[in-house]
Structure formats: structure tokens, C-alpha cells
Amino acid sequence: MEMEKTLAMVKPDGLRGNYTDRIKLAILKSGFRILKERIMELHEDRASRFYAEHLSRSFLSSLVKYMTRNKNPIADWRAMIGPTDASKAKATHPNSITAMYGLDQRKICVHGSDSLQSAKRERSFFFDEEIVVYVHLEVYKRKNPATTFRRRRRRRRRV
């Protein structure tokens, strides 16, 4: 008999609130086992296909928008960085990263790609895969959640 599986997805508010690890721990403590984990960005067309069962519902467009919020990460990140001159940033964008941590025009602590082409080239320099946003978990329920979790924790402590 094949084991029954389901999908668990940490949505944008879970990621922004930095709750992913706590959610995964709750999953494990409840007796589920995480079989696969994938972090990915959900684009509008893919989100629409995922929620296709809600096509006739009035909330579909707001749900898709919620799941695909960060439409322009390059511009949003550059806005957080602020001007590339720390003294100008302190005067005009005091809450920017450059204003808070930059020292001068060259030492601003962070980098941000200025275009899609640059971002693709720069990401490939450091990462083999795309940097993405959502955590997808494939989980299944264990037979005895409490004892399985305790036994697992004990083994980890001994190692």
C-alpha cells in the first residue's frame, strides 16, 4: 500500500515573518515527515494554474497577487540600498542601508544588480541555481508522532 502524501507550502507572510523553521518544526512534532523541500518563486501564470480550481471565485486575483507580491525585486532591493554615496544617502534616504552602514562612495556594505541581465550574470557567478522565495514541502504522517520525534532528538544529541 502506497503512503499518502500531501503538499505543505509556506506562503509569503510566513517567509516575511521568518517563521519557516518554526513551521517545519511544528510539522515534524506533529508526526509528519518532510520528504522533499524546494524553495521557489511563484510567478503569476504559475500561481493562476496552481489555484485554477478557484477560477470562478471572486478572490482569485487577490490570491494570485498575494502569492506573487515581489514583482520587481531588482528595483525594490536598489531602493533599500539607497544612493551609492553614503553622505548623500544620510541626507536624502536616512533609512537606506547605505545611510545606516555606508562609509563613503565606495564602501556602502552591499551590492544590488542594476538590471535583469546583470542580475542573471551576477547570480550565476555565485549560485548554480536561481535564488527563489517560497518553501514547498512534501510531507507524510508518521505512525506514532510523539515517540518518533523524541527518538530522533535523542539520537541527534548523542552524535
| Residues in contact with 38: Cβ distance below 8 Å, sequence separation at least 6, in sequence order | 135, 136
Closest CA to 5 of 157, 117, 140, 159: 140
| Residues in contact with 145: Cβ distance below 8 Å, sequence separation at least 6, in sequence order | 29, 30, 31, 32
Burial pattern 124-143, b for ≥16 Cβ within 10 A else e, equals eeeeeeeeebbbebebeebe
Cα distance between residue 140 and residue 143, in whole Å: 10
Catalytic site residue from 54, 93, 111, 136: 111
Residue 107 exposed, middle or buried by CB count within 10 Å (0-12, 13-18, 19+)? exposed
| 93 carries an active-site annotation | no
Q: Which residues have a catalytic role annotated? A: 111
